[in-house]
Structure 1
């Protein structure tokens, strides 16, 4: 039988994989890293952000699979999606946009797809960041 801890570890791994694998894959494109209209400095910041997020994700996965308590790993995993959400909700202050340089915007219905994705990742990681996963495991050991 699969333990509660294993299920939580898989949940955390999938959630942070969005940040550490899926997002870099999507940004390795002509609309982002290879966008000829972007200044080199903006491209550097994009690659830096992707590598930083991937490092946070890798560290969170490592912690999740080497510790019994996932709360710290989940909190580390929350750094990137929370930063995205703050950036998203304050983009009017600095002239940000979710519309790509080619005029496209990825949406789920009428909502930006990245927003939906980061809200889902944040919800999973927030749950794992506060849930006491050890309680179920301790009860099983008795």
Structure 2
């Protein structure tokens, strides 16, 4: 029978895969990395951010599948979505926007899709960052 720990590991892996795989896939496009209207410096920062987030995600997946206590992995996984949420809610301070240079914006109803995605990922990782898997007992000592 599959354990609760397995399901928590799977949920954490899926959540950080959004950041380490899905987001880079979506940004490998003419509206982001290959946007001819973006200065080279902005492209460098985008690629840097994607590689950093993917590295955090890979480290979180490694910790997820090599340790019984998932809280550290979840906390590491929270770095990128927390930074996104802070950036999103403060974008008026620095002139940021979720509208692409071609005028498009991916939305779920009237809400930005990236915001919805990052809120869901943050909720999953936030729960796992504080929850202890009782099926494992107190073996990890943390």
TM-score (norm 2): 0.96
Give 5+ residue unaligned stretches, structure 2: none
* Offset, 1:137: 2.1
Alignment partners' CA distance in 2, 1:138 and 1:57: 26
* Offset, 1:16: 0.2
Give 5+ residue unaligned stretches, structure 1: none
Secondary structure in 1 aligned to 2:35? coil
Alignment partners' CA distance in 1, 2:73 and 2:97: 30
Which residue is equivalent to 2:88? 88
Which residue is equivalent to 1:54? 54
2:84–2:118 contact (8 Å) kept in structure 1: yes
Equivalent residues in 2 for 1:1-142 (5 A)?
A: 1-133=1-133, 135-138=134-137
The ranges of structure 1 where at least 4 consecutive aligned residues each deviate by more than 4 angstroms after the TM superposition are none
* Offset, 1:138: 2.2
Alignment partners' CA distance in 1, 2:136 and 2:108: 38
* Offset, 1:11: 0.3
Normalized per residue, which structure has more helix?
Answer: 1
* 1:95-132 Cα shifts (integer Å, max 9, x gaps): 00000000000000000000000000000000000001
Secondary structure in 2 aligned to 1:103? coil
Alignment partners' CA distance in 2, 1:16 and 1:6: 15
Secondary structure in 1 aligned to 2:137? helix
* Offset, 1:136: 2.0
TM-score (norm 1): 0.96
